[in-house]
């Protein structure tokens, strides 16, 4: 039988693991934001087909772009306030 080896860092979270989990969380947030923009965009296209006009699609697309920009600005302001 193999003897159990002592692991000095067992149970601890190292810097690399923390950095990796933070990176994964940031990637998930980015993916969710992009997915929501795509859903709003396609929802606007479907709504414009049902209403018969192009104005609904353009309006939804405009709201999606403005919402994304506001979200990005708010995240940057909040990140700078923490520092």
Among residues 40, 37, 25, which one has the least CA distance to residue 68? Answer: 37
Q: How far, in whole angstroms, is CA 23 from its chain's centroid?
A: 11
pTM flag (> 0.85): no
- Provide the pLDDT for residue 75: 82
**26-83: per-residue pLDDT in tens?**
889 888 888 887 887 788 778 778 887 777 777 777 887 888 888 888 888 887 887 6
- Provide the pLDDT for residue 80: 80
**9-38: per-residue pLDDT in tens?**
566 655 555 667 888 888 898 888 888 878
- Provide the pLDDT for residue 11: 60
Domain positions in the chain: 15-82
């Amino acid at each position: 039988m193999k003897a159990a080896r002592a692991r000095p860092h067992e149970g601890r979270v190292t810097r690399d693991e923390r950095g990796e989990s933070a990176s994964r969380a940031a990637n998930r947030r980015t993916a969710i934001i992009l997915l929501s923009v795509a859903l709003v965009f396609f929802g606007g296209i479907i709504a414009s087909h049902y209403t018969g006009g192009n104005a609904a699609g353009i309006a939804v697309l405009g709201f999606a772009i403005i919402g994304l920009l506001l979200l990005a600005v708010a995240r940057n302001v909040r990140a700078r306030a923490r520092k």
